[in-house]
Each structure stands twice: as structure tokens, then as C-alpha cells.
Structure 1
Amino acid sequence: MGPPLHKNCRLSATWYQVGASGHSPWPMGGADGHRGRRMRDPMDLRVVIAAGGTGGHLFPGIAVAREFLVRHQAAVTFLTTPKPVTTQILERYGFAWEAVSSRALKGEGLLSRGRTLIGVPGAVLAARTRLKALNPHLVLGMGGHSAGPAGVAAWLLGIPLALHEQNAIPGATNRYLSRLAQKIFVSFPACGDFFPRGRSLWTGNPIRPEFFEPGPPRAASPFTVMITGGSQGAHALNMAVLGGVSLLKGFKDRLAFLHLTGEADREAVAAGYREHGFTHEVAAFNPEVAAWMRRAHLLVCRAGASTLAELAAVGRAAILVPYPFAANNHQEFNARFLTAAGAAEIILNKDFTGEAFAGKINQFLTAPEHLSHLEAASRQLAKPDAAKEIVEGCVALIRPG
């Protein structure tokens, strides 16, 4: 039997740079000498998914977990950071979780890095202890520092390890763990070049199935623009859009806005739309993002991997404004993949002003055929079977023969 739901044992673990020299710190096969364990009965499959830190790692993990349940009735346990928002999401979806208190090494000061490194032996030992108790057939790491201890511990125990990388430029954790993993699933085809030859597979980024479900027909008018900076909002986007709205007064009878602002800017943004007489719906956050996307003709958004996968699933065009402080500038590389495919336009954060926003809206209103071309290209990038391909790729690592 799998572990009970909502088992909240707390595990203290800290991530660090594994094998930074390019070599694994232990010989192939795991320090314990165990080989990959085989699944005798698909109905008795136990899987640990190491994900957390941000929604960009957690929600793809949830999509894969749901696929494991549907296809193999698997017992899935998450190892994740003990943030209330993270554990609440997992409990809402009904998944068991165990806490991993992890810290990112990249970007920390020298003193903090030293503390992180000192905690290495206990971190890996603690993760190893939890995995021995859970006894999974496979560990799937979704990136982020919380996945590090579980990935190293899985390799030490000889448990098959797979990874999923959401972004076009892989994060530090997945780069290091790729030396220990049997398979790395990637969301962007060129991302495979960062990993050991022959181990990567382009599956796309798994997202919630509601983005692929058909919705009611989109109204032809008004031309509806959706702005979102993610679950926390994006102040720079919010303020630039407000600056541009005043330049679009001549189109107020043809335009409407759906705007996810984050809590801090909600009132100010709503007041700006009211002042200039635009039809608008403003919310700090809306769990029904798919429904709003279907109503929109154009999105203005950041370039996180999940957002881009959702755009393709719904078949929407976008003006992408990559977050400039993302690790390794990965959001710009994410965005460039879509622009190269003719599925979106890009404006760098430093260039995204009210004037730039208003100019783009004017272009789309006067050249609707351009929007149609972007939407058609966006649909071509959709990967509706991403979660299925990841699950079947994982099962192939542990199925006899």
C-alpha cells in the first residue's frame, strides 16, 4: 500500500551543488550498490515527485501526478518545501506530501553558501531516510532547489531517477542531477543540448487539462486584451499598461481588458480603467485562468514556461515581456522559442512602456490578419500529451523488459 494522504512528516534538508566539477561524487549504480528496482505490479506503483519552491515547478508536477493516478492508480507522494501555499495546493488536489526544508545555493552570499554547504551530509542523509521509508519505484524531480536532496538520495539508493525541466535554459538543480538521472524530459527541444547525450526527451510542459478543453466561442468584439504577471502580478506590466490606456481613448468602444494584477496593484489598476472609460474586469488572482484566456484575443504576459504552454493549449497570441531577473535569463529564451515559431511577439521589460503597449494594440486592431497568423502558430506548439509521455517514459524505466 502507498503512504497515507496528508502525511506531514517534516524533513530538514538543504540543497547544494552536486558534482560541480562535472563528475558524479559516487560511482555509477549508487553508493549503496542497489540497482534500479523493478515494478512487479503496475497497480502497486509508488512514485515520489520532488517539486516545490514556485508554482512553475509544482503545477507541472501535479499534472504528472494526476496522470500517474489515472493511468496506473499510483500512490504519489510529493517532497516539497513546507510553504503554506504549497502544502495547501497539494492538499486541495488530494496528494500526500512530506516537507523538505531546502535553500537555493545560486545567488546567495558567501556566508549563506557556507552554511548551505555545511548542511550537505545531513541533507542527503535525511532525504535518504525518507525515501527508504516511502520505498518508491521511481523519483521524479521537477527542478528547483527542493528537488536536489531527493534526487541525490534516490541515486544513492539505486532508485530510478527522472527529471523534468520546464524552461529553455535549465536550472542549476537539474543541471547537476542530470548526471545521476536516467531520463530528462524537456519542455523546449533545444534544452536537451544541456544534458548528457541520449538521455533527454522533448515532451513539452505538462499543464492542467482544462486548458485543452473546448470552451464557448469567443466573442468577435470587443477586442479583449488579457494582462497577467502570474499569481503575484507584475508591477512593471501593470503600470505600463495603465500608461498606455490613456493613449487608447479613441478605441474605448472597441476594447475591453481582463487584468490579473496581484493584490498590491488591484485598486489602482481598476481605478485607471474606470477613469478612462474602458470595459474591464480586474482581479488580484483568478483560478479560472483558462476561461479568461479563451475570452481574450491577445495576452500581455511574462514568459514563464507554464504560461507559454497554456497559451499554446488555448491557441492564443501574446505580447511576451520576459521577467528580466529570472535565473539565467530563461524567460527571454522561453519567449524567443515562440517568436521564432511565429506564435508571439516580444518586448523586453526595459522597452515595455505605455507608448509601446498602445502602439502594439493599435497594430493588432488595424491588422487582424496578423493576430490570426500568430494564433495558428501558437496552436501548432501545443503538447497535449506532455503528462502522458512523461508518465510512460517513467514507467519504462521500471517496467521489466
Structure 2
Amino acid sequence: MTATRHFLLAAGGTGGHMLPAYALAGELIARGHRVALVSDDRGLRIPGAPAELETHVLPAGRVHGGPVGWVKAALAIRKGRRQAIELIGEFDPAVVVGFGGYPSLPSLLAAGATRRPRVIHEQNAVLGRVNRLMAPRVDAVAVAYRNIHRFPEKQAMKRHLTGNPVREEIVAIREEGFPPLPEDGIVRLLVVGGSLGATVLSEVVPAAIAMLPPALLERLQVVQQAREADIAGVRARYAELGVAAECAPYIADLPERLRWAHLFIGRAGASTVAELACAGRPAIFVPYPHAMDDHQRWNVVDLVEAGGAIAFAQPDFTPAAVAKHIQRMALEPGALEAAAGHAAGCGLPQATRDLADLVESFAPPPLMDVIRVGASAQRAPASGVAAAREAN
């Protein structure tokens, strides 16, 4: 039986950071461990956290705004580091795990000050700013792609390919396989533009569908996420074309919609790409051109090279180009099924397990805890979490 350990996770305030952290937390909790998560207010509002997960908000300045902004950020990080040291002393984690984003920085710095093992996870195909800063200082760097840009060459021995953790519902889709698509059967499109939608998809995708031959139009079903400001126009356009379409500003049951879909069209965030590869669904990507370090463009490289997706730079994402690709994929026998297989070949469905194994491997043996706790008890009275543990 695995000995119960404490693990502290720290993640930035976006879904790309938080969702892998939630997945790892769930796996570690299922293994009998106790897990706490540090983020900012924005991050902790993102749904999906395990019920047993303890959460904390610590100051973490974002480095921007010129010299004045840098000073404010440094002061916030320093304050967050001090509070994180107190939290580590109370919670006593065996390992501290960072998922990128500025809210992860104070905890990683505090872990170094308290000599705790540190692991970081990078969701994108470009190492992010905080992870680039911390890579030389941590014990291991878990990555989601075989080729990672801006990874320090001197730290190559620390790199471990785990993939991006995905939800169990997505793994289940992979096990079910690609949905049947008989000749002249219904072709189902899922269009998603990130957490808030993307106007470019609302403009281009309906216009592309309007260019398809009537016989194919009759076979299409569309589920599209769109911004509130765009929904009325998108619905009207599909109604005018006679295409069965469902439009919403937010898709709550995304795993079920992904199970349903034959072809995905959308942005290329890390979680999206990982889920499509794991599920085995072909895609048309239009990477967000203003993403930090242009990471969405690099996120799709593996899938595109494998034949599981096609990617358009946003200026090239035109109705004519998209219509041509949809028509080819839908009318060429076996094209969608083959692309789905290529996408699945890039998937890493055991990412959550592999990341948890990596993190556990840096936890010191339980005997070391006994020695450390015993030494601490001689120096000062126990309090908080440590006192409760001793009382038990």
C-alpha cells in the first residue's frame, strides 16, 4: 500500500494551467495522498477541482507595465513567497509541483528555500516564462510534446515526456473509437473557439459551409460555440442554409460533444489539442495569433505532421480554404476515419498516471519524514497541520 504523502500544487489562473493541476490532484488523492493547490482568485473560479482538494490564494505579481509594474510584481512575489514558506511549514509537502503562470512562482521559490523537491509541468509546446525561469532550479520538467521549444539544452536530462492530463471522459472516448460514418451518412462538426469563443470562427465557418455543395449541406450537423455578440448572426446564417445547427456561448458537456463529432474546428490551446489527440478526432485548427510566444502554432505541429489535423494561420483561414478541406474530408471515402487514427496516434492517454508517477518518485521515503518531524519537534512546539498529525 502506498504511504500517504502531502503534495502542494501551484498553477496560474487559466484553464490551461488549472485543468492539468486538477487532474493530477485527483489522481494523487485517489492514491491516498493529501493535496493542496495554490493559485489566484481567477484560477480557483475555474470548475473541475476535486471535492477533496484544499485551496489557497497567495499574492503573485504579474511582470508587466514597465519599471513601476516590475517593482509592484517583485513585491507581490516576495510577499507570496513568504506566505508560501509558512504554508509549506504548516502543510509539510513531500513535493511541490508547478504548472506555470505567475501564481505558481512564489510556491516554487518557497519550495527551494525550504529544500523541498520541485517538479514543473509544461502544457504547451513552448516552455512558458515561469517554467523557463525555474527549469534550471527544479528536479524535473514534465512536458506534453516530444518537441519543446525554448527548453534549456543544459536541462535536457530533467525532461520527462508525460503528455497533458485529460479527463477520464476523454479517455473513454478513445476506447470507444471513431463514430460510424456510413456513405451518405450525417457528418457532424464541432466548432469551439476556446473558453469564450472566437469571432473569426463565427465569421468564417458559416461562410465556408455556405460554399459546400447542396448534397453535402443536407448531411451536415453543427454544434458551434460562439460569443454572445455573434450567436444571433450565426444561428440566422445556418437557418438560412437549412443546416441543422446548435449554437451556444458555452458548451457544458464538451466530452459528450467530442464523442459525437466527426470533425473539430477551432483554436489550439494545450488542453484542446491534448483532448483531440487522446480522443482521436481530426481537426481544422486556427491557432490564436496573439498567444504568448505563439505557442498555439507550435501546439499543433505533432498532429499536423502525423496527418491528424490541418492548421491555418488566421489570415489564411478563409471560407474558401475551409470549405475545400471540409468537402475533401467529408466526400473522400475513409478520409475522416484515417485522420482520426493519425490523431489518436499522437495521444498520450496515460498522461495523468505518468505525471503522478513522476511526482511520487521525488517524494522522500516516509522514514525521512519521521526524522524531519522529530527534529522539528525538538526545536519548537508543533502547530496547525503538524500538530494535528502528531495528535493522531
Does structure 1 conserve the Cα–Cα contact (< 8 Å) formed by 2:228 and 2:249? Answer: yes
Matched, 1:66 2:30: no
CA offset digits 1:145-189 (Å, max 9, x no partner): 111111111111011110100011010001111122101100011
Matched, 1:138 2:95: yes
Give the corresponding residue for 2:245: 280
Q: CA 1:315/1:91 → structure 2, altered by over 3 Å: closer, same or farther?
A: closer
Q: CA 1:68/1:169 → structure 2, altered by over 3 Å: closer, same or farther?
A: same
Does structure 2 conserve the Cα–Cα contact (< 8 Å) formed by 1:186 and 1:192? Answer: no
Give the corresponding residue for 1:352: 317
Does structure 2 conserve the Cα–Cα contact (< 8 Å) formed by 1:232 and 1:263? Answer: no
Deviation at 1:108, TM superposition (A): 3.8
Q: Which runs of 5+ in 1 are unaligned?
A: 1-40
CA offset digits 1:348-378 (Å, max 9, x no partner): 1111122222222122123233323211111
SS in 1 for 2:148: helix
Q: Percent identity?
A: 28
Does structure 2 conserve the Cα–Cα contact (< 8 Å) formed by 1:141 and 1:151? Answer: yes
Matched, 1:295 2:260: yes
Matched, 1:82 2:82: no
Give the corresponding residue for 1:397: 362
Dislocated runs of 4+, deviation >6 Å: none
Deviation at 1:219, TM superposition (A): 4.8
User: What do you get for the CA RMSD once the two structures are aligned?
Assistant: 2.1
Q: Among 157, 164, 169, which residue is 1:210 paired with?
A: 169
Does structure 2 conserve the Cα–Cα contact (< 8 Å) formed by 1:162 and 1:184? Answer: yes
Does structure 2 conserve the Cα–Cα contact (< 8 Å) formed by 1:87 and 1:97? Answer: no
Q: CA 1:264/1:157 → structure 2, altered by over 3 Å: closer, same or farther?
A: farther
Does structure 1 conserve the Cα–Cα contact (< 8 Å) formed by 2:308 and 2:343? Answer: yes
Give the corresponding residue for 1:100: 58
Does structure 2 conserve the Cα–Cα contact (< 8 Å) formed by 1:226 and 1:300? Answer: yes
Specify the code of the residue in structure 2 equivalent to 1:68. Answer: L
CA distance in 2, matches of 1:287, 1:101: 31
Give the corresponding residue for 2:385: none
Matched, 1:368 2:327: no
CA offset digits 1:120-149 (Å, max 9, x no partner): 432321222222222111111011111111
Q: Among 69, 72, 83, which residue is 1:126 paired with?
A: 83
Matched, 1:180 2:137: yes
CA distance in 2, matches of 1:65, 1:262: 31
CA distance in 2, matches of 1:127, 1:330: 29
The 5-angstrom pairing of residues 1-400 of structure 1 reads 42-71=2-31, 73-83=32-42, 86-87=44-45, 89=47, 93-105=51-63, 108-191=65-148, 194-195=151-152, 196-214=155-173, 215=176, 218-220=179-181, 221-248=185-212, 250=214, 251-400=216-365
CA distance in 2, matches of 1:97, 1:63: 14
CA offset digits 1:260-295 (Å, max 9, x no partner): 224332332222211211011212112221111121
CA offset digits 1:322-344 (Å, max 9, x no partner): 11011100100111221112221
SS in 2 for 1:194: coil
SS in 2 for 1:190: coil
Q: Which runs of 5+ in 2 are unaligned?
A: 367-392
Mark the structure with the bigger radius of gyration.
2
Does structure 2 conserve the Cα–Cα contact (< 8 Å) formed by 1:319 and 1:345? Answer: yes
| Bigger share in helix | 2
CA distance in 2, matches of 1:223, 1:108: 48
Q: TM-score, normalised by structure 2?
A: 0.86
Q: Which deviates the most, 325-334 or 193-202?
A: 193-202
Deviation at 1:205, TM superposition (A): 0.5
CA distance in 2, matches of 1:91, 1:169: 26
CA offset digits 1:40-77 (Å, max 9, x no partner): x9443111110131001000111111110122x11111
CA distance in 2, matches of 1:92, 1:138: 19
Q: Which deviates the most, 201-210 or 353-362?
A: 353-362
Deviation at 1:314, TM superposition (A): 1.2
Does structure 1 conserve the Cα–Cα contact (< 8 Å) formed by 2:61 and 2:76? Answer: no
Specify the code of the residue in structure 2 equivalent to 1:205. Answer: N
Q: Which deviates the most, 210-219 or 297-306?
A: 210-219
CA distance in 1, matches of 2:28, 2:244: 43
Deviation at 1:216, TM superposition (A): 8.9
CA offset digits 1:176-223 (Å, max 9, x no partner): 111221011000112287141211100111011110114597252211
Specify the code of the residue in structure 1 equivalent to 2:172. Answer: E
Q: Which deviates the most, 269-278 or 140-149?
A: 269-278
CA distance in 2, matches of 1:226, 1:208: 18
CA distance in 2, matches of 1:130, 1:177: 20
SS in 2 for 1:198: helix
Deviation at 1:399, TM superposition (A): 4.0
CA offset digits 1:294-332 (Å, max 9, x no partner): 211111111111111111111110011111011100100
